[in-house]
A and B are shown apart, each in its own frame.
Chain A
Amino acid sequence: MKKYKSLISIALLFLFLTGCDFLSGEDKAAFYYLRTPDTYAYGEADSVIAPEFRDCSGKMNNLHYLLTLYLEGPLDSVYQSPFPEGTHIVSMQHSGTSLSIELSEEFTLLTGMDQTLAGACLAQTCFALHNTHQVHIYATSQTYETVSLTLSREDLVFMDGISGTTSTQ
């Protein structure tokens, strides 16, 4: 009997030690950031934007908290935040599978592809955290200029899907 108790204890200990991830998989949030350029994975889906997983036990239903945490930036040095420092959420609104996020004026400092990448990172994070199909991101500068970006899952193309079908002779 003693022998069996020991075996069971060891098995449980093993599960607890190695199975932390297994037991609390639903408490991990995927925060999408930019890879550093020297870590781009060419030809893969996570080539430029990749998820960093964070333990958010007990907070997985609080989207505002999660996105606030997200905007603080990545922990791992292989990632970098696409948002200017100080960017934060001003307001958020849900409407079915659409999410509207107003960001602070720092977001208006981004232009061109930088703005697109930041929007894509935030959108990907929202798609992973919430039942969201479309994200509308906007911000107003001090001079009242508004920038906005509406992104759905289909709008973002991370890798060239045309391969092996058409070849050049």
Chain B
Amino acid sequence: MTYVFITFFVLLFLNIYCSDASKELFYQSKKTSMLERCYLAADQIAQLEVINPEGISEALQQMEGLNVSRMIVVDQNGKAVFDSQQEDIGKYILFPEVIHALEFNDAFTWEYQFRSGSMLSRAATPIVSYGTTIGSVYMMEIDSQQGRLLHSLQSNVLQITFLLELILIIFSLAFSKTFSRRLQKIMQSMKIIQEGNYTHKVTIGGSDELTALGDEFNDLTERLQTSEQKRRRFVSDASHELKTPLASIKLLTDSILQNDMDNETIREFVGDIGDEAERLNRMTAKLLSLTKVDGQLEEESEIIYMAPTIRRAAKRLSVIADQSFIDIHLNLENDTPVLILEDDLYQIVFNLMENGIKYNVPDGELTVSLSRSEDNAVIEVSDTGMGIPEDALGHVFERFFRVDKARSRASGGSGLGLAIVRAIVQRNRGDIQVESILGKGTTFTVSFPAFDTEVDKG
């Protein structure tokens, strides 16, 4: 409705402007024409020796038709000495136009008579003879043709204005109805989504911005649905994983309390309780780490070479590597700077190397290599461990996924390590792949965009 009002006032303004402009045009044209005729008559009359009706008539006859409705000639006292209508000869003509003219000014007035549709024009000029005003010529014209023209022009413009406004109103009503119907659809869909039905999709016809909005809305709900499914699965997995060690602890404590046991058995059970508690502790730490990775704000990355961080992780893991009789080999000559958080890199490398030690065979090897592949810096972590079955390769990065649950539990695994690694790699714009041959070993390949300082900083 606001739009309709605005356009109405704009059209009204244009209408008024157009009307005024056309009136002004007619006015100027008529004024020039009338005054010129007055000048002509005044010049002719000024040449007469005696101003009387006969002399004036004769003078006017010599001119071409003046084409006016009435002409009056007055003397310097305002008394009419000539009247084309023969009405007011000898009377005092006290028209304001005549008074102006006798004061040595040209006068012109104009009015539009709505009743007759005519233009009524009046003009008067002084008659000057030898520098003295001796009288005045007054002319009046009623022009019905021009009046009709002006009226017709104004009438047409007004009609066009109303027609345009009517079309605009109809269009606006139709458009707003369609628009609000489509918008209503989206609003209703939002309400359905709010109630938790993420499978709902909205269908908006057409190919405009509202359609695009509908498509975006559907994408959003799809992502919401996926996110909700992941959340539910995670909660379900997490509660299951946490429940297991807690159940073990409960069982062990119940056994201790309910049965008479020797100190050695009690010590053994308490040791098991401790192990389960430690596992619970590690699991909650990794859950916390994963939550942090998921919700972490973008920190300022730095350009670093990866070799120092890898060496640091290797040193940290050397103790358990020695305990497991695993040799760690580092091939770090082809180092390339990358844009990454140093802590993130450490965690990635540490987790992969730790897995490579945990799931290795005695006297096995763990090799970490750096290389350059086109625009990427590549880290390879290879072990000579038991390997991963082919059908499990696609799931190793899923949360709580373990190839061999029994083995993982024995080695303290929670199934979150690789999920954390992948989340961190992806957050740093990298990629991680895994290849494995059962019984021979596994290779994890992590790549990040190389940051060659001379090219990329420029």
Question: Which positions in A face B, CB cutoff 8 Å?
Answer: 37, 40, 42-43, 47-49, 112-113, 115-117, 120, 151, 154-164, 166-169
Contact = CB atoms under 8 A, between A and B. Distances in A.
Contacts of B90: 155
B99 A117 contact: yes
Contact of A112 (B93, B102, B122): B102
A49 B90 CA distance: 20
Given A112-B77, A162-B140, A168 B96 contact: no
Contacts of A167: 69, 116, 118, 142-144
Given A116-B77, A116-B79, A157-B91, 6 more contacts: A40-B96, A48-B94, A117-B78, A157-B95, A166-B85, A167-B69
A122 to B, nearest CB: 13
Contacts of B100: 37
A168 B143 contact: yes
A163 B69 CA distance: 9
B377 to A, nearest CB: 92
B103 to A, nearest CB: 8
Contact of B85 (A42, A48, A120, A162): A162
Nearest to B75: A112
Instruction: Give the 5 A-B CB pairs with smallest separation, nearest first.
Output: A167-B142, A40-B96, A167-B144, A112-B76, A113-B102
Contacts of A47: 95-96
Contact of B118 (A116, A155, A157, A164): A164
Interface of B: 67-70, 76-80, 85, 87-88, 90-97, 99-100, 102-103, 109, 111, 113, 115-116, 118, 120, 122, 140-145
Contacts of B116: 164, 167
B94 A49 contact: yes
A75 to B, nearest CB: 23
Contact of A162 (B77, B87, B102, B115): B87
Nearest to A154: B91
A157 B95 CA distance: 8
Contacts of A164: 113, 115-116, 118, 142
Given A162-B85, A164-B113, A116 B92 contact: yes
29 contacts: A37-B100, A43-B109, A48-B99, A49-B94, A112-B76, A113-B102, A115-B77, A116-B77, A117-B99, A120-B92, A154-B91, A155-B91, A155-B92, A156-B92, A157-B80, A157-B92, A157-B94, A158-B95, A160-B122, A162-B70, A162-B140, A163-B120, A163-B140, A163-B142, A164-B113, A164-B115, A166-B85, A167-B69, A168-B69
A84 B34 CA distance: 36
A138 B148 CA distance: 50
A159 B77 contact: no
B419 to A, nearest CB: 94
Given A47-B96, A156-B92, A167-B142, A113 B68 contact: no
Nearest to B116: A164
A87 to B, nearest CB: 19
A169 B92 CA distance: 29
Given A116-B78, A167-B142, A157 B69 contact: no
B83 to A, nearest CB: 9
B94 A160 contact: no
Contact of A160 (B115, B140, B144): B140
Given A162-B69, A162-B140, A164-B118, A157 B102 contact: no
